């Protein structure tokens, strides 16, 4: 009988009265990709931290390759053969690609000095081995979020682990081909992979078995080819998928545009023209790095606009900075791409994080009024289905899904008439997605306007009235009605549309 690479039995972990894990058991055999499924807050992150040596369990056991496994740090875990690519990236952004790959032990010369050249040569060889085209000398801070995720994955794989843990590895990747090829190469040499994702199509492509967590406990380990999506969902959240449905659009043809953009040039954006109507949800789709980030940042005043016109409710405006936009009376709020580094203040409470977006509503004569903050917090928390018990938690202690709900609550708290949402459900579970969808739909139904980028095409098809497809900085297609389908979005996003290659002007 094959000895499991990893066997965990009855793992438990509590933080005061909060039970993060109440009993988790499963096993992974060599060469297997094993899925870990569950809502945000189900205990997945805590389990990953235990297996990675970040925290220690209160009870239960883990056995790695037949030996007791009790790592007390990430370095101990790596030494024993467990390597993790974290969802909340662990790269040091002030260091280079080569330095991040070499940590914790930089290559030294014969004189015991750190050899920059040797480290860069070793990094170049590693990047080439895993098919990642990055400059070893580039600082991580200059990389796109997708390239940082790829680097995180390569660093974990390059340690040649017995067990590789991949936590939401495709959350910001526009294609899975590169990653899946690497995973198959790893499993072919006997590596066991624990794969955590909310994307069931990916899990079904890679995994034969999956363990479902709910409320900190392992509910079941299922054979995925014998278990349909509805059954998995019901195990995850304890309710049926049947209640999830798309609501009708509230925008109407001929509605006054809330946001009108004409021939916009900014960053990598080249001549973008479109409108977002009152009550409308307009999606943006495109492969990574096609200019969608610059489009959102330009409309929020974070990227300089070279030329073109922006109108809000028919009024021409200049988005020189977020502060300038607010002074001009422009009511626009941005939900950022990366919640950890661009969104949350991890040491502050959830309520403080939310109400920072609406200081004028919670303060008087420069003094924050606690009662006003509590009232506003209760109001917007209901709109995003954020539980009252989290209000006084440090936001850094919450699951990723609850952090994302809090950030959406912050932008809703401003009273803005237009929302710019950049991948608002990245890395969150299906239950949290539904809460976010309902909040967005309710906002639009009440007269708001939404411009939304998503890396998940199914989300755009489900949620949006119209989709702008970006390729090489240009909007090459605007799809709506029966044309709004994944096949057409993919065709345009890859440079092809209706059988003709999309070419941008020089």
List, for residues 138-151, the tens digit of each pLDDT value. 999 999 888 999 99
Average pLDDT over residues 35-45: 84
Residue 36's pLDDT band (cuts 50, 70, 90):
very high
- Mean pLDDT is highest, among 149-163, 251-265, 357-371, for 149-163
Per-residue pLDDT at 174: 73
Query: What letter does residue 3 receive in the DSSP assignment?
Result: P
Contact between residue 176 and residue 15 where contact means Cβ atoms under 8 Å apart:
no
Per the model's pLDDT, the better-predicted residue between 413 and 325 turns out to be: 413
How confident is the model over 302-357, as pLDDT tens digits? 889 999 999 988 888 887 777 665 554 455 556 665 666 566 788 888 888 888 76
What integer pLDDT is reported at residue 232 of this predicted model? 86
Count Cβ atoms below 10 Å from residue 132 Cβ, excluding itself: 16
What's the rounded Cα separation, in Å, for the pair 156 and 164?
A: 7
Query: What region, left, alpha or beta, does residue 275 occupy, with left being phi > 0 and alpha being psi -120 to 50 degrees?
Result: beta
Read off the pTM: 0.60
CB atoms within 10 A of CB 440: 23
Reduced DSSP (H G I as helix, E B as strand, rest coil) percent helix, strand, coil of the chain, to 5: 35, 25, 35
Share of the chain above pLDDT 70, in %: 84
Chain centroid, CA 339 distance in Å: 8
Specify whether the backbone of 36 is left (phi greater than 0), alpha (psi in -120 to 50) or beta.
Answer: beta
Alpha carbon distance 10, 217 (integer Å) = 9
Q: Is the pLDDT of residue 158 over 50?
A: yes
- pLDDT of amino acid 97: 94
Q: Quick one: pLDDT at residue 147?
A: 92
**Which one is predicted more confidently, 301 or 280?**
280
CA distance 422 to 297: 10
Residue in the structure block whose two tokens are 């299906």 = 430
- Structure confidence at residue 504 (pLDDT): 37
pLDDT tens figures, 290-299: 889 899 989 8
Bridge partners of residue 451, in order along the sequence: 282, 420
pLDDT of 395: 87
Say how many CA atoms lie within 13 Å of 490 toward its Cβ: 8
Phi, psi dihedral angles at 317 (to 5 degrees): -135, 160
- C-alpha 235/C-alpha 251 separation (Å) is 36
Describe the crossing of helices 430-445 and 400-413 by its angle, rounded to 10 degrees.
Answer: 10
DSSP designation for 481: G
Instruction: List all residues 6 or more positions away from 499 whose beta carbon is below 8 Å from its beta carbon.
Output: none
Q: Give me the sign of the Cα torsion angle 119, 155, 290, 337.
A: negative
Average pLDDT over residues 90-100: 90
pLDDT of residue 270: 94
CA atoms within 13 A on the CB side of 407: 30
Q: Residue 479 pairs with which residues in a beta bridge? A: 467
Host H or E run for residue 281:
strand 281-285
Where is average pLDDT lowest: 91-105, 362-376, 443-457? 362-376
CA distance 241 to 357: 34
Q: Region 398-420: what's the mean pLDDT?
A: 86
First to last CA, the chain: 62
Alpha carbons 299 and 319: distance in angstroms, whole number:
6
- Distances in Å between the Cα of 486 and the Cα atoms of 145, 329, 455 are 24, 37, 12
CA-based nearest residue to 504, from 282, 275, 291: 291
Helix axes 229-237, 430-445, angle to 10 degrees: 90
Cβ–Cβ < 8 Å for 176, 169: no
CA distances from 414 to 356, 406, 451, 470, 486 (A): 9, 13, 16, 29, 33
Question: 285, 457 in Cβ contact below 8 A?
Answer: yes
Q: State the pLDDT at residue 335.
A: 65
pLDDT at 300: 85
* Secondary structure in 3-state letters for 7-62: EEEEEEEEECCEEEEEEEEEEECCCCEEEEECCCCCCHHHHHHHHCCCCCCCEEEE
Match 């209901």 to its residue by tokens.
382
Q: Which domains does the chain have, with CATH numbers?
A: 6-243 (3.40.50.300), 257-501 (3.40.50.300)
Q: Give the integer Cα–Cα distance in Å for 376 and 339.
A: 22
Mean pLDDT (the chain) is 84
- Shortest CA distance to 504 belongs to which of 481, 480, 484, 477? 477
Cα separation, 38 vs 253, whole angstroms: 40
pLDDT at 175: 81
Q: Which of 6, 144, 4, 126 is nearest to 62 (CA)?
A: 6
- With tokens 């950030």, the residue in question is 407
- Mean pLDDT of the 470-485 span: 91
H or E segment and range at residue 473: none
pLDDT of the residue at 366: 59
Check pLDDT > 90 for residue 39. no
pLDDT digits 0-9 by tens, 200-255: 888 999 999 999 998 899 999 999 999 988 788 788 877 654 444 444 555 554 56
The tens digit of pLDDT for each residue in 102-127 reads 887 654 444 444 578 888 999 999 99
Other beta carbons less than 10 A from residue 491's beta carbon: 19
Rg of the chain in Å (alpha carbons): 24
The answer to whether the bond into 104 is cis (omega within 30° of 0) is yes
């Amino acid at each position: 009988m094959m000895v499991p690479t990893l066997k965990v039995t009855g793992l438990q972990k509590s933080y005061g009265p909060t039970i993060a894990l109440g009993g988790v058991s499963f096993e992974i055999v060599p060469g297997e990709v094993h899925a870990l499924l569950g809502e945000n807050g189900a205990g997945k992150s805590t389990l990953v931290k235990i297996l990675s040596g970040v925290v220690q369990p209160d009870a239960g056991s883990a056995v790695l390759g037949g030996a007791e496994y009790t790592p007390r740090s990430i370095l101990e875990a790596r030494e024993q053969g467990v390597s993790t690519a974290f969802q909340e990236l662990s790269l040091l952004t002030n260091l280079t690609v080569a330095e991040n790959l070499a940590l914790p032990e930089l290559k030294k010369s014969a004189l015991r000095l750190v050899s920059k050249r040797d480290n860069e040569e070793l990094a170049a060889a590693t990047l080439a081995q895993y098919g990642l085209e990055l400059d070893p000398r580039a600082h991580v801070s200059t990389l796109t979020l997708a390239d940082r995720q790829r680097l995180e994955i390569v660093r974990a794989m390059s340690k040649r682990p017995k067990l590789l843990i991949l936590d939401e590895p495709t959350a910001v990747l526009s294609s899975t081909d590169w990653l899946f090829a690497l995973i198959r190469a790893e499993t072919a040499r006997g590596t066991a992979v624990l794969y955590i994702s909310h994307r069931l199509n990916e899990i079904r492509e890679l995994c034969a078995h999956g363990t479902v967590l709910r409320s900190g406990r392992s509910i079941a380990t299922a054979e995925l080819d014998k278990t349909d999506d509805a059954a998995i969902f019901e195990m995850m959240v304890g309710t049926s998928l049947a209640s999830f449905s798309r609501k009708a659009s509230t925008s109407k043809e001929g509605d006054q545009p809330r946001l009108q953009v004409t021939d916009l040039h900014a960053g990598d954006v080249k001549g973008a023209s479109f409108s977002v109507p009152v009550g409308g949800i307009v999606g943006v789709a495109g492969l990574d790095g096609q200019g969608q980030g610059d489009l959102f940042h330009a409309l929020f005043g974070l990227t300089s606009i070279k030329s073109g016109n922006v109108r809000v409710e028919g009024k021409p405006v200049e988005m020189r900075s977020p502060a300038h936009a607010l002074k001009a009376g422009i009511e626009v709020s941005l939900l950022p791409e990366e919640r950890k580094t661009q969104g949350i203040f991890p040491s502050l409470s959830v309520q403080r994080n939310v109400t920072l977006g609406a200081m004028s509503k919670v303060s008087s004569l420069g003094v924050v009024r606690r009662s006003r903050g509590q009232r506003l917090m209760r109001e917007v928390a209901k709109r995003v289905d954020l539980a009252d018990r989290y209000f006084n938690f440090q936001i850094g202690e919450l699951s990723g899904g609850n952090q994302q709900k809090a950030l959406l609550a912050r932008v809703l708290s401003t009273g803005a008439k237009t929302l710019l949402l950049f991948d608002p459900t990245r890395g969150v579970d299906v239950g949290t997605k539904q809460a976010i969808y309902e909040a967005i739909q309710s906002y639009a139904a009440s007269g708001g306007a939404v411009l939304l980028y998503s890396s998940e095409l199914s989300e755009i098809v489900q949620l949006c009235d119209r989709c702008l497809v970006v390729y090489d900085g240009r909007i090459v297609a605007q799809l709506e009605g029966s044309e709004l389908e994944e096949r057409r979005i993919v065709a345009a996003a890859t440079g092809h549309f209706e059988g003709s290659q999309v070419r941008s002007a020089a």
